[in-house]
Structure 1
Amino acid sequence: MLKTTASGVVGLSLAGCIETVGSVVGSADIDPVTIGVLAPDPDSNSTGQSIVEGAEIARDQLNDDDGIDGRAVELAIGDTNGSPPEARRQYQRLVLEEGADVTIGVATSEVLSHLMDDIAEQEIPHLTVGSATTAASRMVSDQYEEYKYHFRVGPINDVNLAETQIDFLDEMGPELDWDSVAILVEDYDWTERLWEVYQNQLGDTAVDVAMQKRYEPATDDFSDIYDEVERTGADAAIIAAAHTGTQAVMDWGPAERPFAFNGIHVPMQLSSYYGRVDGACRYATGYAFATPTTEITEKTLPFVDEYQRRNDGSAPVYTGYISFDAVKLFAKAVEEAETSDSDELVSELEDISVTGTTGTIEFHDSSHEHAHDVIYGEDNVHPLFFQWQENDDGTGVQQTIWPEEHKTADYAEPDWF
């Protein structure tokens, strides 16, 4: 099971655990609120660790402020190992054995799709904090009564992810002198709708598409792919990568490829990534929900500060922000509804509006094609694009370059151009 210390360091034990502070908040006669947390390999995976740590920070803040409606808050943590069968086993344990009142987490499309029937069967709210697949929201839309217990606090769904990238290219492409781009997308489930949207909408942007490639999941050498990009004369490679991202960076910067690097690149969101790749990501630009330097809302930087305090200066990846927001959002829903009844909480969540670390969180209603997904837009949750730049002391920093209202620095062209 997973055990976490007061410092937030995660260690591995046998089967799962409950973290409780019932002796601090509430009475021994009042049952605590149990939040089940599903995270992949949180002892070693930055996505999973951020899920757990974000939930822990939210739990501690709630318990310092009388819990949820006067009840202590405890976390029951399940390590999914990133495996659909193991995720299902852990989900059932959290709900049936640990008595979770709600579950949060899940980082991949494959795992979430595998869990949707269990979520429907148990009729307990689940708040997704990592998977982008619209397969889940389409199930809510098509079979509402069965799947209405699923809500996506974040990230924005795969269609909106693609739209964010397209919005960036349409607005910033001409400014950066990117007349043409090469689209490179790893062939995993999470990119299926992303790829479809690119096919349908990129032609309407201010940039030309010189090349489009959905490359093999096992790709560990981008030399041939980048040679092809060079032959097209593309000004930038636009990548979508979670599993293959680091090798894509290592074959770009150190090789001084003559095109810019941009896209939805999950590993690059990690605040310690610059050091991990020895600066190979310098000048690369990428998508993020937030960065340690950007105040999305008044809650963003205080959360980052607390996360860094607990983690030796390391900031969260996107799942940490969303996990924190999910726990706080659930707490508000319970207090507003004055009940933990699942059906009443579903109604409360459908109408909720909460300022989180990533923006104003509201959900599409049941009639929307992406029912119960967080709403994407300037007035709600709107991701940003940042660039890895280098400070005078040689350390890397994520500087926001778009949108304008969150900009912290101008785009810097690679010095080998």
Structure 2
Amino acid sequence: MKKALSLIFIIILIVSAFSANPWKIGVLGPYQTENGVWIKESVQMAADEINAQGGIVGRPVELVFVDDENTAGKMISGITRLVTRDKIDFLIGGVGSGPVLAAMDTMARYKVIWLGTGAASPDITNKVAENFNKYKYYFRVGTLDSISQGRSIGEFIANYLVPEYGIKKAAIISLDLVYSKGIAEKAAEIAEKAGVEIVYRDYFPAGTNDFSATFKRAEEAGAQVIIDAIVTEDGIQFTKQWYDLKVNAAIVGAIAPALKPEFFNQTNQKSIYETSAYPNGGPAPLTSKTLKWYEDYKTKFGHAPGFIAFPSYNTLYVLKEALENTKNLNDKDEIIKAIEKVEFPLGGDKGVAPVIFTENHDLKYGGNGANGIIYQWNTKGEWKAVWPLEYKTGDWLVPEWINW
């Protein structure tokens, strides 16, 4: 009896110790939006798993969610409240580049380590490069910046479409936003180096309903491929009209709505042959865990994880690996150095998308680092990874009406 009571007492002490000193982690996101929902769900999913396994170095993870409404003011006040009132140990999240850029000085003032999940402007990690001692607390766990997204599209054209199909001419038809232009022009630059001539450019305003004239001009210029970068719902109408008009050029680029299962029905099943780059994620064997995690997420939440869910889920595992390799957990510089050494390689067994950091705390692009995976909707309404070839789940198909 005494032994049983002693055992129970020990268990109570262990449980008490485990629950008494949690890692408090602030999570920023616009929770009234789809992106915010993806952040909240994926981070909670990772926290639940880690806590079930005993936490991080014996301490549980406690999440403190703050809705930043994707505005600079709310994000800055949210970080201030998380640090001063909630006494968080780390910060993760953030979607919009503008709010994140505005909040980096607040991060630096409080010296809080921030694992970013969405802001894709190169300016963010450029700040780390320009003033490392001040901004070294920020790491881009995701997503790929706009330049890297453009590179993935350009490399698919240059390294696959050019040698396989002899592509020589391309057009740009894209949304008139700085972010979209960055993607499209980088893709065009790489395609041009492979001998592809850019024969037509059109950057259209958000809310455009009729693309027939610009499609016709691209065809008349001899474009075999149309490079697009459409981060708004305009991509739905764009794809439907391209299909209806049977444009004699494949659309290849980055249409944000196309990166969700709902796109097939949103386009009235006219998304067939649409091809887009997914920024370091999607249902492909990026790591040994990705495909199972993708299905587990759908089962748990009733919908597929979006692009921002991949880095959001990864953040806690990046932190876990770093802290487990840190001797002095009170030394932020030592923790930063440990995070810098974390590697989740493409094709490996860590995380659900590649994470390797550059010296400026950006994602390493290409090779065994982060990649823009190219996906295409096939004739069965299935969404398949088609590039890089070693991680494909299907073959890229030439639209049946195209005559190259």
Superposed displacement of residue 181, structure 1: 1.3
The 2-side partners of 1:187 and 1:111 are apart by 21
Residue 242 of structure 2 corresponds to residue 252 of structure 1: yes
1:143-163: CA deviation from partner (whole Å, max 9, x where unpaired)? 111111111112222222222
SS at match of 1:253: helix
Question: 1:198-239 deviations in whole A, cap 9, x for unaligned?
Answer: 565442124221122333244444334323323322112111
What is the DSSP-based 3-state SS (H/G/I as helix, E as strand, rest coil) of the residue aligned with 2:308?
Answer: helix
With over 3 angstroms needed to count, the CA separation of the structure-2 counterparts of 1:224 and 1:102, relative to structure 1, is farther
TM normalised by structure 1 equals 0.84
In the alignment, is residue 60 of structure 1 matched against residue 48 of structure 2? yes
Give the aligned partner of residue 65 of structure 2.
Answer: 77
Q: Which whole-Å CA distance do the structure 2 matches of 1:405 and 1:29 have between them? A: 44
Q: Distance in 1 between matches of 2:368 and 2:330?
A: 29
3-state SS in 2 of match to 1:399: strand
Matched, 1:356 2:346: no
CA distance in 1, matches of 2:379, 2:211: 25
Following TM superposition, by how much is the alpha carbon of 1:110 offset from its aligned partner in structure 2, in angstroms?
1.8
Partner of 1:12: none
3-state DSSP class of the match of 2:382?
strand
| Aligned equivalent of 2:158 | 170
In structure 2, runs of 5+ residues without a counterpart are 1-13, 345-349
Q: Which residue is 1:309 aligned to? A: 299
Q: 2:222 aligns with which of 230, 233, 252?
A: 233
Q: 1:412 aligns with which of 393, 397, 404?
A: 397
Q: Deviations over 1:227-255 (max 9, x none)?
A: 33233221121111212423322332234
CA distance in structure 2 between the aligned counterparts of 1:185 and 1:357, rounded to whole angstroms = 30
* Alignment match of 2:130 (pick from 130, 136, 142): 142
Question: Residue 105 of structure 2 aligns with which residue?
Answer: 117
The structure with the larger Rg is 2
Cα distance in 1 for partners of 2:266, 2:64 equals 31
- Measure the CA separation in 1 of the matches of 2:375 and 2:341: 32
Letter of the structure 1 residue corresponding to residue 357 of structure 2: F
Distance change (3 Å), C-alpha of 1:48 and 1:251: farther
2:188 pairs with 1:203: no
Alignment correspondent of 2:364: 375
Q: Deviations over 1:125-156 (max 9, x none)?
A: 11111122110111111111111111111222
Question: Over aligned residue pairs, what C-alpha RMSD do you find?
Answer: 2.4
Q: CA–CA distance in 2 between the matches of 1:342 and 1:221? A: 54
Indicate the SS of the match to 1:254. Answer: helix
8 Å CA contact retained: 1:271, 1:317: no
SS at match of 1:173: helix
Is the contact between residue 153 and residue 187 of structure 2 (CA under 8 Å) also seen in structure 1?
Answer: no
Distance in 2 (CA, whole Å) between partners of 1:30 and 1:282 is 54
TM-score, normalised with respect to structure 2:
0.87
- Superposed, 1:325-340 pairs within 5 Å as 325-338=314-327, 339=329
Contact kept in structure 2, 1:110 and 1:189, CA below 8 Å: no
Q: Which residue of 1 aligns with 2:281?
A: 290
Given the alignment, which residue of 385, 389, 403 partners 2:378? 389
- What are the ranges of 5 or more consecutive residues in structure 1 without an aligned counterpart? 1-23, 366-370
Bigger mean CA offset, 163-172 vs 83-92: 83-92
Q: Secondary structure at the match of 2:317?
A: helix
Q: Structure 2: how far apart are the matches of 1:316 and 1:25?
A: 33
Q: Could you tell me whether the CA contact under 8 Å between 2:356 and 2:364 is conserved in 1?
A: yes
Change (3 A) 1:281 1:196: closer
Q: Which whole-Å deviations, capped at 9, do the CAs of 1:11-60 have from their partners, x for residues lacking one?
A: xxxxxxxxxxxxx97637632112222222x3442x22222211111101
**1:235 and 1:259 in contact (8 A); partners too:** yes
Spell out, residue by residue over 1:105-126, the C-alpha distance to the aligned partner (whole angstroms, 9 max, x if none).
Answer: 2222222222221221121111
The equivalent residue for 1:222 is 211
C-alpha distance in structure 1 between counterparts of 2:250 and 2:300, whole Å: 35
Measure the CA separation in 1 of the matches of 2:181 and 2:331: 36
How far apart in 2 are the matches of 1:25 and 1:115?
A: 37
- Structure number with the higher helix fraction is 2
- Quick check: 1:119–1:125 contact (8 Å CA) kept in 2? yes
Aligned mates of 2:248, 2:64 — CA distance in 1 = 49
Of all paired residues, the percent bearing the same amino acid is 26
Equivalent residue of 1:137, what SS?
Answer: helix
How far is 1:274 from its partner? 1.5
